[in-house]
Amino acid sequence: MTPHSANHDGADRVARTAELIKKTFDPVPRVAMILGSGLGSVTASIDAPRTLPFDRIEGFPVTRVAGHAGQLLCGELVSTPLLVQQGRVHYYEGHPMDMVVLLTRALALAGVKVLVVTNAAGGVSPDLKAGDLMRLTDHLNLMGANPLTGPHNENYGPRFPDLSRAYDPDVGAILDQAASDSGHELHTGIYAAFSGPSYETPAEIRMVRSLGASAVGMSTVPEVIAATQMGVRAGAISCIANSAAGMSHQGISHDEVLDVTAKASVNLAAILEKALPRLHAL
């Protein structure tokens, strides 16, 4: 299969997935959200939920990472329509980048205009502790890959998208105000993305800290790049699950990540409930 035909097949799959989303969730909400590891409880307050499991999406892999439910869910939160992607596939699982962002692109084609991406991250800044929430203001893509690499599809937007406003300032302002209104602190900072799946070394953490990063993780950046290219206004929040390597004397484990994010998801849900009506109005 040539690169061109592979790209064409991928575009067809995105289009078919978009049609499936529209058929399943008609009308598709303007606002969607991607939930990271252990943050699935954010959906507990969604009324009249309808679901689309990943295994019903043609050619889409079933997520096998603990803490990821592996489905799309649509309903109402504070009387406002919301579509939630519970879990994601990761580059470190061996999937190509076009698969990592397939759902992001399909959501955009289906009519989503605002996307809030969440993740579990390691704290690089000494000001961040486990359980804190941080809104992303920018990122460092250290994954060694970009979802826009390869033949260009004009249906997705410009070949060379401007990322200077990838983390939309209006979305950010709404999230900040929602945090204030709900009485929860929302830090801000730069997120550094590595490919994983191994956690970063102390030397790598010293490097990204010197480059200005406040948190580090293994996701989010591909989805934000793809969303921005397609004109979707994006925002992102990290749940600080642990101190990154070398920042404390404790080791790092995925079980710890899930435990901390499950507790922090209560605060995240409170912020999103305040933000959602305003995001829907954008």
Residue-wise pLDDT for 190-213, tens only, equals 999 999 999 999 999 999 999 999
The pLDDT of residue 7 is: 55
State the residue range of the domain holding 79. Answer: 3-280
Return the amino acid letter for 263: K
- Domain count across the chain: 1
With tokens 């299969």, the residue in question is 1
Return the amino acid letter for 175: L
The pLDDT of residue 255 is: 63
pTM of this structure: 0.91
Distances (CA, A) of 203 to 127, 200, 252: 19, 8, 15
- For residue range 242-253, what is the model confidence (pLDDT) as tens digits? 876 545 555 555
CATH (domain of 49):
3.40.50.1580
Q: Give, for 14, the enclosing helix (H) or strand (E).
A: helix 3-25
Rounded to 5 degrees, φ, ψ at 256 are: -65, -40
Catalytic residue among 166, 178, 218, 270: 218
The pLDDT of residue 5 is: 45
- For residue range 74-107, what is the model confidence (pLDDT) as tens digits? 999 999 999 999 989 999 999 999 999 999 999 9
Query: Is the bond into 197 cis (omega within 30 degrees of 0)?
Result: yes
pLDDT grade for 62, boundaries at 50, 70 and 90: confident
Residue 149 has pLDDT above 80, yes or no: yes
37 is catalytic: yes
| Joined tokens for residue 79 | 């009387």
219 is catalytic: yes
Catalytic residue among 119, 214, 242, 243: 242
